[in-house]
Structure 1
Amino acid sequence: MPQEQFFDTMRQGLWIAVTASLPILSVALTAGLVIGLFQALTSIQEATLTFVPKLAAIVAVFWATMGFMTTTLTAFFHGVIVPQIAGG
């Protein structure tokens, strides 16, 4: 495999990883900021207050975007990785 093809495949794989993880990471960041602001304004320092809502938001977004992530990763695998394994 030529070096250019290897780096192009790695670049595409990293972009797919960013694209697939962006919904979950953005919701986790937003939920963390909102909960942190709420804790700072109310002076409530409860550990489960940060963990449970953030986990619930992440699970909900994962469930909602599971089809998109599966389709994106499968298309990348079948379009790029499998032909390289087969020698194409």
Structure 2
Amino acid sequence: MDEILFFDTLRAGLWISVQISTPILAVALIVGLAIGLFQALTSVQEMTLTFVPKLGAILAVFWVSMGFMTETLRGYFTNQLVPLMIGG
């Protein structure tokens, strides 16, 4: 395998990981900011107030986007990695 093919496969793998992680990270950021704003406005400093809603939102988004993640990874493996493994 030459360097160009190696780096192109690595670049595609990193881009796939960015695509897959974006929904979860975006929801964690939005929920974290909303809860932080709520805590600042109400002066409530409870640790579980930040952890539990954020965890629930992340789990919900993971559950909803699981099909997208699976199809994206399956496409990457079938279209790029498997042909490289069999020498195509």
**What TM-score do the two structures reach when normalised by structure 1?**
0.98
CA RMSD of aligned residues (A): 0.4
Supply the AA of the counterpart residue of 2:5: Q
Q: CA deviation at 1:39?
A: 0.4
C-alpha deviation, 1:69, in angstroms: 0.3
- Quote the Cα distance in structure 2 between the aligned partners of 1:45 and 1:72: 40
Instruction: Report the Cα distance in structure 2 between the residues aligned to 1:34 and 1:77, rounded to whole angstroms.
Output: 37
C-alpha displacement of 1:86? 0.5
Q: Distance in 2 between matches of 1:5 and 1:37?
A: 47
Tell me the number of residue pairs that the alignment of Structure 1 and Structure 2 aligns.
88
**In the alignment, is residue 86 of structure 1 matched against residue 86 of structure 2?**
yes
Amino acid at match of 1:3: E
Structure 2 partner of 1:77: 77
Q: Which residue of 1 aligns with 2:61?
A: 61
Counterpart in the other structure of 1:37: 37
State the identity as a percent: 65
* Runs of 5+ consecutive residues of structure 2 not aligned to the other structure: none
Tell me the residue number matched to 1:27.
27
TM-score (norm 2): 0.98
Q: Which residue of 2 aligns with 1:9?
A: 9
Gaps of 5+ in 1: none
